[in-house]
Amino acid sequence: MNIVVCIKQIVDPEAPDRTFAIDPVTSRQDRNRLSLVASPFDLNACEVALRLRDGLGGQLTALTIGPPEATQVLRQALGLGFGAGVLLNDPSFHDADPFKTAYVLSRAIRKLGPIDLILTGCESGDMAGAAVGPLIAEELAIGCITYASRISAARNGLEIHRTLSHGYELLHASPPLVVTVISDHANGPRLPKLRDLLASAKQPIPVWTALDIGIDVERFAVPPMKVKECTVVVTTRERACAWIVGETVQEQARDLVRRLRDRHILGSETRPS
Amino acid sequence: MPTYKAPLRDMRFVLHELLNVGEVASLPGYADATPETIDAVLEEAAKLTENELAPLNRSGDEEGCHFDNGVVRTPKGFREAYTTFIEGGWMGLACDPDHGGQGLPKVVNFVVEEMICSANLSLGTYPGLSQGAYNAINLHGTEELKALYCPKIASGLWSGTMCLTEPHSGTDLGLIRTKAEPGGDGAWRITGNKIFISAGEHDLTENIVHLVLARLPGAPEGTRGISLFLVPKFLAKEDGTVGPRNGAHCARLEHKMGIKASATCEMRFDGAAGWLIGKANKGMSAMFTMMNTARLAVGIQGLGLAEAAYQGARDYANDRLQGRALGGAKFPEKPADPIIVHPDVRRMLLTMRAYNEAARALAYWVGMKIDVAQKHPDATARQEADDFVALMTPIVKSFYTDYGFEAANLGVQIWGGHGYIRENGMEQFVRDARIAQLYEGANGIQALDLVGRKLGQGTGRLLRQFFHPVSAFIEETGADPRMGEFTFPLAKAFAKLQQATAWVAQAGMRDPVEAGAAASDYLKLFALVAFAFMWARMARLALDKTAGEDGEFYKAKLATARFFMTRLLPQHTSVFQAMMAGAAPIMELKAASF
C-alpha cells in the first residue's frame, strides 16, 4: 500500500503564551523567535500510516510545503520509519490559503504516482481550518473520510474507525482515498528508534518547485486566494479564583452547581440533588 | 508537582555556540555527528525523558522496589519505560557500532544523561550502571567476553553492576575479602558478600552482569592484590542466550533515604562462576575505568536534579501569589504579587540557575574532551584531553553533587511549607540528591583525589590543561572594557587558585595532613574558578548577541553571569582563607574530646 502523509510545520503550540507575537508589518504570527514543530494531528496521521505499513507493508512518503527549515518535519517522519520525504518549496507557495495548499499538495501527490491513501491531520494545530484534507480529495476527485482515529485492512479495502460524540462508526472504503485523522489513544505518535533517527539525517530530501509539479500558473494567480486573512490579534484571558462555600460536601456541590448555572455553563434543567 | 522540560535552548547554546560541538564530527568515527543530527537526537531524548521517564519519578519514589525471596520487582511502569528506552536504542547511544551501538560521541551521551537524571534519577541508575560495565568489559575484557557480553549490554537486554563495597570495606578497597578460586573449567569460583550494589537484582532485564572485585589465592595484601571478575546472574550460552542460574543472589534490599526506585542490593556470591577482566591483581585499574565513567555520571546527577529543582521552583515562584513587592505592587489587579518579585526568592533562583548553567557548560566541555581523548589521531592531543578529564573528574563529581543538594534544598525553600509536602515533589529532589555526595567515592575522597593524585601528576601536567586556557582567556579579554566585569573577578579568583595550588603542593609535601585538611576547600575554590571561567566565556559570546532575534536569551545569560561574578564567586575568598589556616585548627582537638 502506498501512503502519503501531508504534514504542516507550525509554531509549537506548547510554547509559552508570552512568546506569541504578531509581526507589526505583516500582521501575521511572528515565527522567527519560536520553535517550529510538526502539527500534532499530522503526527497522529503518521502513526496511523506507520501501523498500516507495519501490517500490510508498502511505501510511506511525507509531504510538506514550506521553507527549507520545514525539512525538519520530514526528517522527523523519516526517523519514525517513513521511506521518503519531499519538500515543496517555491516563492509562489507562500501565504497559501487552504485551496491553494490543497492544490499544491495534490499536484505533488500526482507526481508521486499511484497512491492508495492520503492521510493528514483533521486540522492544523495553528489555523484549525480543517479544510485541506477534503480539498485535496476534491482536487484528486477521490473520496474523503474525515475525523478518523484508526484504519485497518478489511476485505476489499479498508476499515476506518471514525469517532463520534456519542460513539463511533466503522466505515468500509476502497482506495484511493483521503482520510483526515484525529488524536486518539490508539494513534499517539511512537518514539523513533535512535538508529532510524541517525539514518534519516543522511537521507536526501528532494525539493520540488512549482515547475516540478506542473502548477497551472494561470489558475494559481487568478483569483489570488479564496480565503483572505485580514488581521490577527492577541487576545487576553483573565483568570480568577473563587472559593466554593458550604459546610458539607453536599452544600459545596450545590454552591458549585449554582455558580455554573449562573454563568450558563450548566443548563437550567440540571438540578442539584 | 514540577513538570520537567529539557532545557534544549541552553543545551544548544553550550554545544553549538560555546563549544562548537560540530568539531567532534571531524574525529574518526564521528562523521555522522553533525550539529543537525545532534539536535535531532536531543529533541527525541527530550520527548522520551519528559513523557516516558518523568511521569514515573514520583510514583516510583512512593512505591519503591519490592523484595520477595531473592526476587526484586521495580515499581509499576518501570519495566514498560525501560523497554521503551532500550527499544529506541538509547542504551547503545555511545556504545561501539560493532556491538550494535550507535557510536555517538560521549558529549551527546552527557546531554542525554543530564535529561535522564532530571526526569527520573532512579530509573536512570539501571542504564547508568550498564554503561560503566560495558566500558570496563570493552576496554579490559578478552575478545570472547566482549563478543558475548558487549552487544547484550549495548542493547539493554542485559544490564550491568559494579560490585565493590563489602560491609567492612568501602573507601578502603584493599580490605575486601571476596575470594576467587580456580574452577578447573576455565572459570573462577567467586565467593563473598557485597553491599550497596545498585541494580544488583531487578526485573528490567533478562540477565545481569556483575563486575566483582575479588582476591585470587595468594594475592598480595591491599589494593595490589585485587582482581576484577565478570559474574553473570545467568550463565551465558555461546549463542548469546541465557543459560542456567549462577550462584549470584540478592540477599536483601536496602531501605534508603532517596532513589527508592533504584534497587540497592546486598549480593551474595556462593562459588559463582566468574571470568577475569583484565590482568590478575590489576583489578583496580580496570575498575577505575568504571569508576571514572561513574564519577562523571554522578556529577551529572547533581546537575540533573538541580535543574529539575530549579524548574519546579521557577514555575512556583511565578505562580504563587503572596505579599507585595517591597518597592510597591507589581500586579495591583491581583490579590498579591507572585513571589518571584521578592529579592530573596530571586537570590535563591539565581543561585540555582547560575550553578546549573556553568555546570552544564563545564560538563559538556569535559564530555567533548573525552571524545578527543579517545578518538583524536594525534597522541599529544589525546593525552592533553585525557589530562583535562582526569583533572576535572573529582571536581565534577564532588562540586556538582554538593551544589546539586544545595539547589534541591533551595527548591524546597522557595516552595515554603508546600515544598515539605511529599505530593508536591520538591522534597524528593533533596532526598535523591543526597546519595550523589556519597556514592562512587564520597566527596571528601574526591577532594583527596584532586589534591593527592591529580595536582602532582606529571609535575603539574594535568593542571596546565586548565590553567593555560584560563590565563590565555584573561590575557585576550583583559583589555576589553565590556568584559571587565567578568574578566576582572575571574582573574582575581584565578590568582587565588594559583596561590592556593602552590601552598597545597608545598605544605602537602611537608605534611600530608596539611593537604588532607586543605582538600575540600581547595576543590571548592577550584570549582568556583572553573565556573567563573565558563561564565566569562559565555558572557563574552552573549555580549554581541543581545540585539539579535533571541536577544532575551543572551540578556539573561549576561544577567546570570553578573550574578555569579558578584554574588557567588566571592565565596572563593572565604574558602581560600579557611584553607590557608592550615590543619592545626582541625587536628588540635583530641579524638577523645569529641
Encode pLDDT of B444-456 as tens digits: 999 999 999 999 8
With respect to residue B276, please indicate whether it lies within any of the assigned structural domains. Answer: yes
B41 in contact with chain A, both atoms CB, cutoff 8 A: yes
Interchain CB distance below 8 Å, A198 and B52 = no
Clarify whether residues B62 and B119 are in a common domain: yes
The confidence score (pLDDT) of residue A271 equals: 54
Clarify whether residues B335 and B483 are in a common domain: no
The confidence score (pLDDT) of residue A31 equals: 72
A36 in contact with chain B, both atoms CB, cutoff 8 A: no
Residue whose C-alpha cell reads 585548627 in the numeric block: B585
The confidence score (pLDDT) of residue A224 equals: 56
CA distance B154 to chain A (A): 13
Q: Which residue in A145, A144, A187 sits closest to A169, CA to CA?
A: A145
- Model confidence at A269, pLDDT cuts 50, 70, 90, reads low
Clarify whether residues B288 and B225 are in a common domain: yes
Interchain CB distance below 8 Å, B48 and A202 = no
Distance CA B290, CA B459 (A): 26
Clarify whether residues B327 and B358 are in a common domain: yes
Average pLDDT over residues A198-211: 94
Interchain CB distance below 8 Å, B44 and A198 = no
CA distance A50 to chain B (A): 16
Longest dimension (CA), chain B: 83
The confidence score (pLDDT) of residue A32 equals: 67
Average pLDDT over residues B307-328: 96
Clarify whether residues B518 and B410 are in a common domain: no
Clarify whether residues B434 and B485 are in a common domain: no
CA distance A202 to chain B (A): 8
Q: How many CB atoms lie within 10 A of CB B232?
A: 24
Predicted confidence (pLDDT) per residue in B536-594, tens digit: 999 999 999 999 878 999 999 999 999 999 999 999 999 999 999 999 999 999 999 99
Amino acid at B56: L
The confidence score (pLDDT) of residue B476 equals: 97
Cis peptide upstream of residue B105 (ω within 30 degrees of 0): no
Answer yes or no: is pLDDT of B37 > 60.
Answer: yes
With respect to residue B449, please indicate whether it lies within any of the assigned structural domains. Answer: no
A191 in contact with chain B, both atoms CB, cutoff 8 A: yes
CA distance B97 to chain A (A): 10
Give me the number of domains chain B comprises.
2
Clarify whether residues B185 and B69 are in a common domain: yes
With respect to residue B448, please indicate whether it lies within any of the assigned structural domains. Answer: no
| Predicted TM-score of the model (pTM) | 0.90
A201 in contact with chain B, both atoms CB, cutoff 8 A: yes
Q: CA B87, B92, B94: angle at the middle one, nearest 5?
A: 150
The confidence score (pLDDT) of residue B450 equals: 97
The confidence score (pLDDT) of residue B470 equals: 98
Write phi, then psi, for A248 (nearest 5 degrees): -115, 165
Average pLDDT over residues B21-45: 94
Q: What residue spans of B478-583 are helical by DSSP H?
A: 484-510, 512-543, 551-563, 571-580
Average pLDDT over residues A221-234: 70
Average pLDDT value for chain B: 96
B48 in contact with chain A, both atoms CB, cutoff 8 A: yes
Q: Name the active-site residue from B440, B549, B552, B588.
A: B440
Q: CA B456, B460, B461: angle at the middle one, nearest 5?
A: 120
CA distance A193 to chain B (A): 4
Interchain CB distance below 8 Å, B40 and A201 = yes
Q: Which of residues 81-110 of B touch A (CB under 8 A)?
A: 84, 87-90, 92-93, 102, 104
* Polymer length in residues for chain B: 594
Distances B173 to A79, B217, B394 between C-alpha atoms, Å: 46, 17, 18
Contact A176, A112 (CB under 8 A): no
Distances B495 to B21, B501, B525, B572 between C-alpha atoms, Å: 30, 10, 11, 11
With respect to residue B593, please indicate whether it lies within any of the assigned structural domains. Answer: yes
Residue whose C-alpha cell reads 590478575 in the numeric block: B280
Using CB atoms, pick whichever of B34, B36, B88 lies closest to residue A194. Answer: B88
Average pLDDT over residues A97-102: 91
CA distance B256 to chain A (A): 33
Please state whether beta strands B66-68 and A157-164 pair in parallel, antiparallel, or not at all (unpaired). unpaired
Q: Which of A33 and B413 is assigned the larger pLDDT?
A: B413
Clarify whether residues B271 and B366 are in a common domain: yes
Contact B87, B283 (CB under 8 A): no
Annotated active-site residue B552? The verdict is no
Clarify whether residues B436 and B470 are in a common domain: no
Interchain CB distance below 8 Å, A195 and B90 = no
CA distance B83 to chain A (A): 12
Using CB atoms, pick whichever of A191, A192, A201 lies closest to residue B32. Answer: A201
Interchain CB distance below 8 Å, B32 and A194 = no
Collect all residues of chain A within an 8 Å Cβ-Cβ radius of residue B48.
191
A199 in contact with chain B, both atoms CB, cutoff 8 A: no
Distance CA B529, CA B550 (A): 28
The confidence score (pLDDT) of residue A25 equals: 76
Close Cβ partners of B368 (under 8 Å, ≥ 6 residues apart): B19, B21, B23, B24, B105, B106, B107
Interchain CB distance below 8 Å, B32 and A202 = yes
Mean pLDDT lowest among A203-207, B181-185, B284-288:
B284-288
Interchain CB distance below 8 Å, B32 and A193 = no
Clarify whether residues B212 and B359 are in a common domain: yes
B77 in contact with chain A, both atoms CB, cutoff 8 A: no
Interchain CB distance below 8 Å, A202 and B47 = no
Interchain CB distance below 8 Å, B52 and A195 = no
Please state whether beta strands B188-198 and B179-182 pair in parallel, antiparallel, or not at all (unpaired). antiparallel
Amino acid at B520: S
The confidence score (pLDDT) of residue A216 equals: 80
Task: Show the domain range for B569.
Answer: 454-594
Predicted confidence (pLDDT) per residue in B60-110, tens digit: 999 999 999 899 999 999 999 999 999 999 999 999 999 999 999 999 999
Q: At what angle do helices A98-112 and A132-140 cross, to 10 degrees?
A: 50
Q: How many CB atoms lie within 10 A of CB A76?
A: 26
Answer yes or no: is pLDDT of A181 > 90.
Answer: yes
- Model confidence at A242, pLDDT cuts 50, 70, 90, reads confident
Distance of CA B195 to the CA centre of its chain: 21
Collect all residues of chain A within an 8 Å Cβ-Cβ radius of residue B151.
none
The number of CA neighbours under 13 Å toward the Cβ of B566 is 10
Cβ pairs A/B, distance under 8 A: 44
Q: Domain ends where: B408, B441, B474?
A: B441
Cβ burial of A211 (10 Å; 0-12, 13-18, 19+) is: exposed
Interchain CB distance below 8 Å, B87 and A32 = no
Q: Which residue in B268, B240, B243, B263 sits closest to B253, CA to CA?
A: B263
Clarify whether residues B407 and B536 are in a common domain: no
The CATH number of residue B411's host domain is 1.20.140.10
Collect all residues of chain A within an 8 Å Cβ-Cβ radius of residue B549.
32-33
Instruction: List the grid coordinates of B181.
Output: 578460586
Using CB atoms, pick whichever of B36, B44, B92 lies closest to residue A191. Answer: B44
Using CB atoms, pick whichever of A33, A75, A193 lies closest to residue B87. Answer: A193
- Model confidence at B271, pLDDT cuts 50, 70, 90, reads very high
Would you list the domain boundaries of chain A? 2-221, 240-273
Answer yes or no: is pLDDT of A17 > 80.
Answer: no
Cβ burial of B477 (10 Å; 0-12, 13-18, 19+) is: buried
Cis peptide upstream of residue A176 (ω within 30 degrees of 0): yes
Answer yes or no: is pLDDT of A218 > 80.
Answer: no
Cβ burial of B182 (10 Å; 0-12, 13-18, 19+) is: exposed
- Model confidence at B23, pLDDT cuts 50, 70, 90, reads very high
Clarify whether residues B398 and B471 are in a common domain: no
B258 in contact with chain A, both atoms CB, cutoff 8 A: no
Residue whose C-alpha cell reads 509539479 in the numeric block: A213
Interface test with B, best of A194, A200, A205 (most B CBs within 10 A): A194
ipTM for this prediction? 0.82
Q: CA-nearest residue of chain B to A76? A: B40
Write phi, then psi, for B295 (nearest 5 degrees): -65, -45
With respect to residue B446, please indicate whether it lies within any of the assigned structural domains. Answer: no
A183 in contact with chain B, both atoms CB, cutoff 8 A: no
For the domain made up of A2-221, give the CATH fold. Answer: Rossmann fold (3.40.50)
Interface test with A, best of B13, B41, B84, B108 (most A CBs within 10 A): B41
Distance CA A136, CA A1 (A): 19
Interface test with B, best of A14, A35, A47, A197 (most B CBs within 10 A): A197
